[in-house]
Amino acid sequence: MITLALMADSTPSANPSAITTANPADRPVYVIGGGPGGLATAYALRAQGIRAVVVERSDGVGASWRRHYDRLHLHTTRRLSALPGLAMPRRFGRWVARDDMVRYLEKYAEHHELELVTGVEVSRVERTADGTGWLLHASGGRELTGSAVVVATGYNHTPYLPDWPGREAYTGELTHASAYRDGTPYAGRDVLVVGVGNTGAEIAVDLVESGAARVRLAVRTVPHIVRRSTAGWAAQYSGILVRRLPVGLVDRLCRVMAKVSVPDLSARGLPRPDTGLYTRARQGAIPVQDVGLIDAVRRGKVEIVAAVEGFEDGKVVLADGTRLETDAVVAATGYVRALEGLVGHLDVLDERGRPVAHGARSPKDAPGLYFTGFTTPISGTLRELALDAERIAKAVRRQLA
């Protein structure tokens, strides 16, 4: 890994490779974000003979992985989660742990000697005045000029905490899931987890295993739940096989599989969803991979309650009118992409703040601007990031040619 120092005025620094030149042919491709997508794309660009510089706002790679809860393991297999050019060690096991994933990303940057700038945040991207490249405005007054830009800031960029009425007056402990590490501080306490995505489901199970006195899980939209693996067959394999089939057909196949592999939890507050699994996935709602939730709900260790509507008189108000007295609330309410300040002025985002183009395709009016890591494919995010990286690199090579 090569760490660069960028000067605010783009004048020569102690490291000549950090200089941004005026000649368009000599400008690097800037990759914004040092997570899996950014690192994979930087390597793929290098493999195409294109200089790539990764700009990361934190002090190291894999920032979002470092802040996840301790028990996190990949829901995709080790072999299908590796990035281009470096396999994951077999000692990591089939389901790679969070800390091992961070180690892998560090090793990946070092092994490929990627050019990496840390502690620098890009706040705005715009076309250069002559239209031949891209100008990046970064912290410290820096202005960086690149031939192309790849935005890889990640799906889990900025924690989202709903502005529930009465939230500020709640006297219990309110924490976003991004700050949750393990259930030890919650032992013996009454805890409400809000949100039944993979994060909320795993935190609820972790709280039970850590000795919380009572664990309730607030659900607004009933999720699809799938087994992470059945008789050795990973759910990811099925996702890869069906991802290009018609949505309606996949919905029907998944409905049959769910009846065979997942028990009916309606009596416990989790009925089977009305809409299809692939329909939901195409809308951005990936299924919950079971790592203990089904058993915890069946045994009554995790109680399902209605969605949270607000707080009142120190209690949590639910959508069905119930008022709960809890010691703590963990909000697994997701993240926002926070791309508006960075590229919102370029008319490249849809009404939900997502890029209108992804992977090897640039937005129509922004050639040379690419996005990776802003979808949730059922075939596995890391697998698709690896494929996107190579596609983007080839697209950039064609552009520069």
Same domain (yes/no): 314, 179: yes
Between CA 273 and CA 308 the distance in angstroms is 19
| pLDDT tens digits, one per residue of 164-219 | 999 998 999 999 999 999 999 999 999 999 999 999 999 999 999 999 999 999 99
Same domain (yes/no): 167, 95: no
| pLDDT tens digits, one per residue of 55-85 | 999 999 999 999 899 999 999 999 999 999 9
Average pLDDT value for residue range 389-397: 97
pLDDT for 2 equals 63
Same domain (yes/no): 326, 342: no
Of the listed ranges 18-32, 127-141, 247-261, 323-337, the least confidently predicted one is 18-32
| pLDDT tens digits, one per residue of 345-377 | 999 999 999 999 999 999 999 999 999 999 889
Its pTM stands at 0.90
Give every CB contact of residue 255 below 8 A, 6+ residues apart in sequence. Answer: 272, 276, 277
Same domain (yes/no): 167, 99: no
Same domain (yes/no): 77, 90: yes
Same domain (yes/no): 358, 223: no
pLDDT for 42 equals 98
User: Last residue of a domain, which of 306, 331, 356?
Assistant: 331
pLDDT at 20 over 90: no
pLDDT at 90 over 70: yes
Same domain (yes/no): 321, 343: no
pLDDT for 284 equals 84
CB atoms within 10 A of CB 52: 26
Helix (H) or strand (E) holding 289: strand 288-290
pLDDT at 14 over 50: no
Same domain (yes/no): 230, 172: yes
Query: What CATH number did the domain enclosing 142 receive?
Result: 3.50.50.60
More confident residue, 4 or 396: 396
Same domain (yes/no): 287, 323: yes
Residue 171's Cβ-count burial label (10 Å; 0-12, 13-18, 19+) is: exposed
pLDDT for 156 equals 84
Given a contact cutoff of 8 angstroms between Cβ atoms, the answer to whether 210 and 183 are in contact is: yes
User: Last residue of a domain, which of 331, 349, 376?
Assistant: 331
pLDDT at 15 over 70: no
Same domain (yes/no): 219, 319: yes
* DSSP letter assigned to residue 157: -
Q: How many domains, the chain? A: 2
Helix axes 36-47, 98-111, angle to 10 degrees: 20
CA nearest to 281, candidates 385, 194, 375, 359? 375
Same domain (yes/no): 128, 117: yes
Between CA 154 and CA 160 the distance in angstroms is 14
> Which pLDDT band, with edges at 50, 70 and 90, does 18 fall under?
very low
pLDDT at 271 over 80: yes
Same domain (yes/no): 360, 312: no
Tell me the percentage of the chain whose pLDDT exceeds 70: 94
Of the listed ranges 16-25, 34-43, 243-252, 300-309, the least confidently predicted one is 16-25
pLDDT at 290 over 60: yes
Domain that holds residue 173: 159-331
Indicate the average pLDDT of the chain: 92
pLDDT at 8 over 80: no
| pLDDT tens digits, one per residue of 128-158 | 999 899 999 999 999 999 999 999 998 888 9
User: Last residue of a domain, which of 331, 351, 384?
Assistant: 331
Note the residue count of the chain. Answer: 401
Q: How many helices (H) and strands (E) does the chain have?
A: 10, 23
Between CA 12 and CA 8 the distance in angstroms is 10
Distance, CA of 264 to chain centre: 29
